[in-house]
A and B are shown apart, each in its own frame.
Chain A
């Protein structure tokens, strides 16, 4: 088993927290893991990406080769397009459809969404809206992870346990909120994909 994911978004959106949860779940399941992160300058509101690789065999490269990712998990619609070249022909896109506009020349959102919808396996989720409705606005990244979990080789239970590990220091309420967000995201994606 080998599963390669590109995670992307804008610095500060919680991309690295998604990576951390998946990482803990993978290692708890006895899988090997490699995860390349972005630190430094780009974290100041710039485009950020993380390459996350899971396998039951040893993994060599920290970076995913172009055209071979199984999943592109994105916190932001335009950022999704930036990393599509990493996706394999059979890969799936799961993306938040809410734009993060912090540049003056942000392209037309309608064109971005239409472009995204042309790819064969794409699930666009209003993760921000769902999280806000649940009064857990900071958990939109977990809504998105929940939606992606439908396609991933990790059980929802192991992801929930990993949330407990990652957010443990922040208390029971934060854990529950993030677990609820994960479940809601999963339900929404299941409804969308039938």
Chain B
């Protein structure tokens, strides 16, 4: 077998393919994107005709995966952490219906917010839904995991959450592949009413789910992702969750002197945790993300001060862990740093819109069109164009969640702020903007929506745009009058025309939509290169 050096995301993707995956669903979002990208391009996925189209958003993706599971096949859905907020409704309810074919919900968290608007910890969601959560600590475990997790899902007929974090998702390592197993045959659930969550069914399903919790704990104790490693020094016992285990071992190449409980599956392996607490004087909890396990161990109000981690300042309360922070928490000297750097010769280098990006031309026109009005009227959204907040544009005043530009602008317009502008990308619009636009149309809110249509989901690498080229039809179907649907081309030579169109629509006391359409400069370049 050829050498395989995948990203953590790619290892998980190949593992899922080898473990009999039939359908993969996803909406792109850093750091989860490469899971679907890999499966889209994988020759074995093409040969087997694994279903692998991008979805309009995470909710539609998760529901489709649940449908494939209903039909008896193994399905996986992947998203970034905030995507699970969008998909929270089917996620929680899928725990009630249960799975039929194995169902894995992969969520990639982004501690330190490298490319995200918050740093929520998805393990909390797993606990909220009462389902097993598995968390690989390295690329090999990520590859091996789907074989195990699909079986776990089918054994208990529950969805299983796979939790990744940025550092594993985006780091490569050399790993070994196993033998592929065949896909499941089509097979409907034996009980054809259990997916009907009306109250009588739901109550039964809830009782069943809660009754499985002790089985799930026992599974976490036996899991290949969990390990109790004895140590001679009982002054401290260490819980290392997921990737944090690597940072611990990095500091003890010859083996850790303290007993270590490596945790890769939840609900917590209760008996192993109890053993660690009983046998050691103090506990240090190392976990990437929120202090979830640490908080559970503390036990208000009888905390004797023997639990250490992010909550008592032994580790930083927020952000990603690394081997240096873990060394400090263990009282070790990290590295042999001898070099100082004068800080005044280093300037921050934030990301920016690419040279020739169509969004830049739209922002320049919008700024000029808004010159007669006071500042603070532009609600924006999630995408490359969020960078419009930075100089030289200083053009937007909000970025909250997918689709919030239109709805927040509507609320501000309803409050009397006119004119109000929403700036949203084409992919974000089809993800979560259409329903908000319908609200605005129904209320006839005075609102100008600019859809920056670069014909791609650009921020995550130029995936196809779900609204591809027919946004006018969607907007008109929602009820925006044809005369207030305007198409402009964001180019420097069109600047004056574009400013004039924007001024006209800003003056209109109802809903207008301006579609600023020009292909993303990066996808255009790539298309030209592959054509030549």
Contacts and interface: CB of A to CB of B under 8 A. Distances in A.
B349 A47 contact: yes
B347 A119 contact: no
B258 to A, nearest CB: 16
B353 interface: yes
Contact of B327 (A44, A65, A88): A65
A85 B171 contact: no
Contacts of A154: none
B44 interface: no
A44 B5 contact: no
Given A35-B172, A60-B250, A119-B339, A27 B3 contact: yes
A46 B251 CA distance: 31
Nearest to A79: B349
A60 B249 contact: yes
A61 B114 contact: no
Given A34-B171, A63-B167, A89-B336, A82 B346 contact: yes
Contacts of A35: 171-173
B243 interface: yes
A101 B296 CA distance: 49
B345 A78 contact: yes
B322 A65 contact: yes
A176 interface: no
Given A39-B31, A60-B246, A66 B337 contact: yes
A117 interface: no
B344 interface: yes
A41 B459 contact: yes
B160 to A, nearest CB: 24
Contacts of B391: 104
B205 interface: no
Contact of B350 (A46, A61, A106, A108): A46
A62 B334 CA distance: 16
A111 B338 CA distance: 20
Nearest to B386: A41
A174 to B, nearest CB: 12
Contacts of B33: 39
B30 interface: yes
Contact of B337 (A11, A41, A78, A89): A89
Contact of A36 (B171, B247, B324): B171
B172 A34 contact: yes
A24 B2 CA distance: 12
A67 interface: yes
B505 interface: no
A23 B173 CA distance: 9
A81 B323 contact: no
Interface in A81-106: 81-82, 84-85, 87-90, 102-106
A32 interface: yes
A119 B342 CA distance: 12
Interface in B329-365: 334-339, 341-342, 344-354
Interface residues of A, number: 54
Contacts of A27: 3, 5, 174
A61 B138 CA distance: 9
A123 to B, nearest CB: 16
Contact of A68 (B335, B348, B349): B335
Interface string A32-57: 11111111111111110001000000
A108 B338 CA distance: 24
Nearest to A19: B172
A63 B344 CA distance: 26
A194 interface: no
B370 interface: no
A43 B351 contact: yes
Contacts of A43: 351
A152 interface: no
B171 A40 contact: no
Contacts of B354: 44-45
B307 to A, nearest CB: 24
A10 interface: yes
Interface string A1-32: 00000000011000000000001100110001
A115 B345 contact: yes
Contact of B334 (A47, A65, A119): A65
A108 B345 CA distance: 8
B30 A41 contact: yes
Given A34-B173, A62-B167, A85-B337, A103 B347 contact: yes
A115 B5 contact: no
A44 B245 CA distance: 32
B392 to A, nearest CB: 9
Nearest to A33: B174
B394 interface: no
A105 B350 CA distance: 12
B115 A41 contact: yes
Contact of A42 (B114, B251, B334): B114
Contact of B115 (A42, A62, A78): A42
A23 B4 CA distance: 11
A112 B345 contact: yes
B246 A85 contact: no
B229 to A, nearest CB: 13
Contact of B351 (A42, A59, A107, A115): A42
Contacts of B323: 61, 63-65
B419 to A, nearest CB: 30
Interface in B70-102: none
B171 A39 contact: no
Contacts of B172: 23, 33-37
A115 B342 contact: yes
Contacts of A107: 344-347
B135 interface: no
Contact of A87 (B114, B173, B339): B339
Contacts of B322: 61, 63, 65
Nearest to B339: A84
Contacts of B3: 27-28
B451 interface: no
Interface string B375-395: 000000000100100010000
A64 B334 CA distance: 11
Question: What are the nearest 3 A-B pairs in CB distance?
Answer: A67-B335, A67-B337, A40-B115
12 contacts: A27-B3, A28-B3, A39-B30, A39-B33, A40-B31, A40-B115, A60-B247, A60-B249, A65-B324, A67-B337, A85-B337, A103-B348
Given A23-B5, A115-B342, 10 more contacts: A35-B172, A41-B115, A46-B351, A61-B323, A63-B323, A67-B334, A85-B341, A89-B336, A90-B336, A107-B346
